[in-house]
């Protein structure tokens, strides 16, 4: 159990367009999900904590109007990169904290590689 | 504030060698959780182990073993008889209480390459 699906795995878009990335917990419920960004050969940087039914909590320096997060159900969180620019090109990874097990284990999706032309 | 340091940026070994990945953490909290994750070239982070601050027992799972020592704030990871499939980036991570509860603080990662 504890499978997280992230879609799409790769997206190429033109500058100025918006891109939506989905993160689904397939076999468990997750009130809390997380969105990370990872640059090549670097560690993961937490962008925001996504909470079902309430507003996301963004980390310092992350523009909430740029990176829109919606957590409409206990199994789905979405990240929308609005008006994408080349500097937004990166690897985005989501994770989900399984409700009820109180172990703080985050289960990760396979990531989305975004390339903005 | 909490911090995780993985001093080894890259390690290269030959298959069947044992290899230890170091992890040192900093936190003022008495309750915290330590993790190791593996990130293969496909990109997905795979959970390997979780340890809470009150449990200093070492753990072995197949070829993997972990040594948790609070006295030195270390949580090292050893792979015995390494295999090519072990090649990946390995991250040590920390969760503490308070306002940071639930948020993972990652180390910089160690790139492990196992040569045949």
pLDDT digits (tens, 9 = 90+) for B28-45: 998 899 999 999 998 999
- Asked whether the predicted pLDDT for residue A83 surpasses 90, the reply is yes
CB–CB contact B102 A41 (8 Å):
no
Q: What is the pLDDT of residues B48-63, one digit of tens each?
A: 999 999 988 888 899 9
State residue A102's pLDDT score: 76
- CA-closest candidate to residue A92, choices A20, A3, A18: A20
Where is average pLDDT lowest: A10-19, A51-60, B2-11, B67-76? Answer: A51-60
State residue B100's pLDDT score: 59
Question: Do the strands B74-79 and B88-96 form a parallel or antiparallel pair, or are they unpaired?
Answer: unpaired
Calculate mean pLDDT across residues A86-110: 91
B interface test, pick of A102, A104, A107, A113 with most B CB neighbours within 10 Å: A104
Q: Which residues of A touch B43 (CB under 8 A)?
A: 91, 93, 110-111, 113
Q: Is A97 on the interface with B (CB under 8 A)?
A: yes
- Asked whether the predicted pLDDT for residue A95 surpasses 60, the reply is yes
Q: What is the pLDDT of residues B63-114, one digit of tens each?
A: 999 999 999 999 999 999 999 999 999 999 999 876 556 789 999 999 999 9
What are the structure tokens assigned to B19, written together? 């290899």
CB–CB contact A43 B108 (8 Å):
yes
CB–CB contact B44 A110 (8 Å):
yes
Please tell me which residue, B101 or A78, carries the higher pLDDT value. Answer: A78
Beta bridge partners of B24: B5, B74
State residue A63's pLDDT score: 94
| Contact residues, chain B to chain A, C-beta under 8 Å | 33, 35, 37, 42-47, 50, 91, 95, 102-104, 106-109, 111
Q: How far apart are CA A19 and CA A46, in angstroms?
A: 19
What are the structure tokens assigned to A1, written together? 């159990």
CB–CB contact A113 B47 (8 Å):
no
What are the structure tokens assigned to A109, written together? 């999706």
Please, what is the average pLDDT of chain A? Answer: 93
Closest residue in B to A93 (Cα) is B44
State residue B96's pLDDT score: 86
String of DSSP letters for A76-112: EEEEEE-S--GGG-EEEEEEEEPTT--S--EEE---E
State residue B111's pLDDT score: 97
């Amino acid at each position: 159990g504890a499978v997280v699906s992230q879609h799409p795995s790769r997206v190429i878009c033109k500058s100025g367009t918006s891109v939506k990335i989905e993160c689904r917990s397939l076999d468990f419920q997750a009130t809390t999900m997380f969105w990370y960004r990872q640059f090549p050969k670097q560690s993961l940087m937490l962008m925001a904590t996504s909470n079902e039914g309430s507003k996301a909590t963004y980390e310092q320096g992350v523009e909430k109007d740029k990176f829109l997060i919606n957590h409409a159900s206990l199994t789905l969180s979405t990240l929308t990169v609005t008006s994408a620019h080349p500097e937004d090109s990166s690897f985005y990874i989501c994770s989900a904290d399984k409700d009820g097990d109180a172990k703080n284990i985050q289960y990760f999706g396979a990531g989305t590689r975004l390339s903005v032309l | 504030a909490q911090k995780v340091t993985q001093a080894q940026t890259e390690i290269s070994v030959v298959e069947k060698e044992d290899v230890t990945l170091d992890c040192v953490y900093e936190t003022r909290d008495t309750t915290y959780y330590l993790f190791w994750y593996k990130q293969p070239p496909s990109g997905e982070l795979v959970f390997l182990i979780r340890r809470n601050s009150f449990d200093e027992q070492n753990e072995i799972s197949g070829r993997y073993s972990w040594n948790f020592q609070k006295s030195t704030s270390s949580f090292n990871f050893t792979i015995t008889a390494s295999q090519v499939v072990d090649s990946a980036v390995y991250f040590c991570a920390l969760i503490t209480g308070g306002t940071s509860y639930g948020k993972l603080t990652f180390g910089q990662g160690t790139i492990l390459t196992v040569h045949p």
